[in-house]
Amino acid sequence: MQIATDLAHGLDYIHHFSGLKSNFVHNHIKSSGIVVAEKSMNAKICHFGTSELCGETVSEVPDSETFGEISRDSSDGGSKKTLKKSKSRALKVEGTRGYMSPEFQLTGIPTQKCDTYAFGVVILELLSGEEPLKYRLEEGTDGGYRRVSVIETARAAIEGGDLRMWIDRRLKDSYPVDAAENMARVGLECAEEDPNKRPDMGRVAVVVSKLYLDSKNWAEQIGVPMDISVSLAPR
């Protein structure tokens, strides 16, 4: 919960308080880009402004790979000018699989809603201990595999009432189930396929902070170290 709260507030700051009406976008939110302090568990977002050094920036496509060119006669007569259509791809965008929103994969244009999508994926990673994407053996096939996202498994767990089976077993039941379920719902809301349905990070930061306080109060009421298993119900 501490990591999720710090990440939410950090992303909210980048979006709304890091420049005057600049609409900054991080565009590389992922679990490997988050540094966590060992004792306090405070999280810091990395790679902001350093994506070019990491090789994860927009790169030019060679001219030979540019499509959609048209020719027209120039005004001086005789010679021709070659122009690129407005819909032709002149840029190649690189990203990390599992964290790229559907619209970013389609258009290559990063927005704050893309950051919100990636944040939702990271939240679901924290809760489940799963990778964003993995392959599972498809039942009833001859060795066929199907790619499954953590978004799919989280949605199935909530709809099927099996959230406690989905949560990372290394947590040893030392967490409030209600807060964990609400946090999973926040992650799924942030990772909505439709960007217009994703919440603003300012509102997300408020909701996540409330869940963090609820979890902290739960731990104080239980009165045991968080590394000890506290099973309140059978799995």
Per-residue pLDDT of the chain in tens (235 residues, 90 and over written 9):
999 999 999 999 988 887 756 678 888 899 888 888 877 788 888 876 544 444 444 444 444 443 344 344 444 445 444 444 434 444 455 568 889 999 999 988 889 999 999 999 999 999 999 999 887 777 766 667 788 899 999 999 999 988 989 999 888 878 899 999 999 999 999 999 999 999 999 999 999 999 999 999 998 887 755 555 444 444 4
Q: Could you give phi then psi for residue 44, rounded to 5 degrees?
A: -125, 140
Q: Which pTM does this prediction carry?
A: 0.75
Q: For residue 167, what is the domain's CATH number?
A: 1.10.510.10
Examine residue 65 and state whether it is found in any structural domain, yes or no. no
CA distances from 32 to 28, 95, 105, 224, 226 (A): 10, 13, 20, 31, 24
Q: Report whether 121 contacts 99 (CB < 8 A).
A: yes
Examine residue 168 and state whether it is found in any structural domain, yes or no. yes
Examine residue 83 and state whether it is found in any structural domain, yes or no. no
Q: Which range marks the domain in which residue 21 is found?
A: 2-50+90-222
Q: How many domains does the chain have?
A: 1
Examine residue 76 and state whether it is found in any structural domain, yes or no. no
Examine residue 185 and state whether it is found in any structural domain, yes or no. yes
CA distance 176 to 196: 30
